[in-house]
Amino acid sequence: MMAESEPGFGLVVAGHVDHGKSTLIGRLLYELDALPPEARARVEAASTRRGRPLEWAFLLDAFQAERDQGVTIDSSRVRFHHDGQSYRIIDAPGHREFITNMVAGAADADAALLLVDAADGVREQTRRHASLLHLLGLSQIIVVVNKMDLVNHDQSRFAAIADEVRSYLGELGLTPLTVVPVAAATGANVTQPAATLAWHHGDTVLSALARLTAKPSLADQPFRLPVQHVYRVGERRLLAGRVTSGKIKRGDPVVLSPSNRLSAVAAVETWPPETSPAEAMAGQSIALELTDDLFVERGEVVSHEADAPMETNVFAARLVWLGQRPLEAGDGLTIKLGTARHPVIVEAVRARIDPDTLARDAGGIVSRHGIAEVLLRTPAMAVVEMAGGPPALARFVLLDGFDVVAGGTVDMHDYPDQRLSITRRSSNLTPVLHKVTADMRVRQKGHQGGVLWFTGLSGSGKSTLAIALEQALFRRGYHVYVLDGDNVRAGLNSNLGFTPEDRAENIRRVGEVAALFADAGEIVISAFISPYRADRERARQAAGSRFHEVHLSTDVTVCEERDPKGLYARARRGEIADFTGISAPYEAPDSAELVLDTASASIDHCLETLVEYVTTRFRLDSRSD
């Protein structure tokens, strides 16, 4: 579904069915003398057979089914050259049933022509296509108000439509480059100003095209090679695939994602082998031989280490749902990212977006052709890019069995790049064995060491309970210490901010420190929002069986009413970015060892529950009863 980018300026022509997209393209090619004689002859013959005047739409309606039904089914591509620029016109189907092909066409474009019929005005598919163009990251849009001949070239009609389209695009955050009145059937204002539209002193379609700016070349973007196949040739292992962006040359150090293994390029191979170059760039299909004989599978991504793609097992996304059955939270599907396929769970439908009004609701079930913001989670690490980055990994499709049921873009604004948390940079390490064993420490202290990991929203009572529990346990003879978020950030983690990546690193460090305390026989109470499930899971892995997750499940409404540090109020005023529960996500635990709600239970009751939990699970005399 997601086409690979091709050379030339990609121009998708979108809009409601029968608003004249194919006619405009045919007329444009005809006036630029870009049609071979045989193509014009085919159009003339087709028009004559149907008893119509010359019908330029037949030029692109390549399929017999389209001619029979009078609709454009596939996304046709036509090339032409003008004034030193090469263009690829992508004629995207306007019919609602073929919206999949429209998305496929638009995904490969640099800019869009959005057509509106002067007589029909802005219709449902006009708005839907505009929303999809926005979803796919297209910002350069030329609005063409076509069929002005059907409204007697009425200037006021054009002005009303132009205002409506500008208003709608403005709500999407888009500003059209220009709005052009056109009669594609007669050629008015396609390449030359027309006397019938003399009141229009702006662009023709052709002059508007000259004002478009091409996206940065894929060759100038970071190097990406999603591995399609791995071949064993003699003693050589070759990683084959298409360079989707950037450049690579022999000797370059590279990293494989998501396995995070490092190597270097021993050879760049193409076919035939005697023409193999020393380097390759975006658009070329190549094979790489690495200096290390690594086991690599289809789906891994080769890149330079300095600008590697992101890795995550959870991310937000915007998608258009194409499946016959509705989409809802909990659905299990397959996601295709580059050449990789992963099982994926739709963890939440965060919002549904009405393409007509752009109104957002709180989620629920997404019907066919619906646009939604969702949260996706994969069991293993996936390789992604932010929308606007190298496109091969920024866009995805969802599969239900073998059927494509959605296309969308990745949004990692709220989530950290987990590569930073799982990459080990140290090597040649030898563990030091202690003469004082864990059992000796336990017998000396009279209780097990462990980590009580408090997680919950700001204001849920983590610090209050942690301090109270530390005091209560200390009085009972326990060796106990509190690691509090504010205290740790004043020292150990004072170099970290509050971006998703910094918050993940903050928790990684705290998790490792807490595990060391627990290994020394201490009971560590950590009080951190720790919003991401993956970060808490890494802290659990660090401490092993000594880790006990305590979820303070107090609702955000209650926490905001308390607002003990005034942080919610500042976040609401926009003074704090990425504030958990307001403008950043909080992922509640699936199966915490203990759940407490300070909205429904008093602090004293929660403290009593915690003391009993520790007494039951940590004391040696209790465990031996």
Q: Please, are residues 602 and 479 in contact by the beta-carbon 8 Å criterion?
A: no
Cis omega (within 30 of 0) on the bond before 258? yes
Q: Name which of 132, 131, 120, 118 is nearest 180 in CA terms.
A: 118
- CB-count burial class (<10 Å; 0-12, 13-18, 19+) for 187: middle
Mean pLDDT of the chain: 86
The answer, yes or no, to whether residue 388 has pLDDT greater than 80, is: no
**pLDDT higher than 80, residue 505:** yes
- The answer to whether residue 496 scores a pLDDT higher than 50 is yes
As a three-state string, the secondary structure of 463-501 is HHHHHHHHHHHHHCCCCEEEEEHHHHHHCCCCCCCCCHH
pLDDT tens string 508-545: 999 999 999 999 999 999 999 999 999 999 999 999 99
Structure token pair of residue 118: 């002067």
Higher pLDDT, 361 or 162: 162
What is the rounded CA–CA span in Å between residue 485 and residue 510? Answer: 9
Are 453 and 523 spatial neighbours (Cβ–Cβ below 8 Å)? no
Residue 185 neighbours by CB under 8 Å, 6+ apart = 20, 23, 27, 56, 147, 149
Least confidently predicted of 57-61, 82-86, 465-469, 485-489: 57-61
48, pLDDT greater than 80: no
Q: Which residue is it, tokens 């970071």?
A: 222
Tracing tokens 């890795």 back to the chain, one arrives at 311
- Provide the token pair at 400: 């239900």
Give, for 141, the enclosing helix (H) or strand (E).
strand 141-146
Determine the pLDDT at residue 159: 96
Catalytic position from the list 530, 545, 553, 583: 530
Predicted confidence (pLDDT) at residue 77 exceeds the cutoff of 70:
no
Question: What's residue 357's pLDDT?
Answer: 67
Q: Write phi, then psi, for 603 (nearest 5 degrees).
A: -60, -40
pLDDT of residue 104: 56
- Among candidate residues 462, 527, 493, 500, the one with its CA nearest the CA of residue 585: 500
> How are beta strands 547-552 and 450-456 bridged, if at all?
parallel
- Residue 180, classified by CB atoms within 10 Å of its CB into exposed (0-12), middle (13-18) or buried (19+), is buried
Q: Which residue has the higher pLDDT, 64 or 289?
A: 289
Q: In this structure, which amino acid lies at residue 494?
A: S
Place of tokens 């699936």: 590
Q: Report the interhelical angle of 533-543 vs 500-519 (nearest 10°).
A: 20
Whether 530 is catalytic: yes
Res 68: pLDDT:
47
Give the C-alpha separation, 265 to 239, whole Å: 11
Q: Is the pLDDT of residue 6 over 60?
A: no
Distance, CA of 161 to CA of 306 (rounded, Å): 49
Mean pLDDT of 561-581: 89
Over residues 181-185, the mean pLDDT reads 94
Percent of the chain with pLDDT over 90: 54
Q: What is the pTM of this model?
A: 0.74
pLDDT digit string, tens, across residues 262-308:
999 999 998 776 677 888 998 889 999 999 989 999 999 999 999 99
Mean local confidence (pLDDT), 582-609: 94
pLDDT score of 64 more than 50 = no
Three-state SS string over 497-553 comes to CCCHHHHHHHHHHHHHHHHHHHHCCCEEEEECCCCCHHHHHHHHHHHHHHEEEEEEC
DSSP strands (E only) in 308-422:
310-321, 332-337, 340-353, 360-361, 371-384, 395-400, 403-411
Residue 39: which pLDDT band, with cuts at 50, 70 and 90? confident
Of 222-226, 264-268, 432-436, 446-450, the poorest mean pLDDT is in: 432-436
Residues 125-165 pLDDT 10s = 888 888 878 777 778 899 999 999 999 999 999 999 999 99
Cβ(220)–Cβ(334) below 8 Å? no
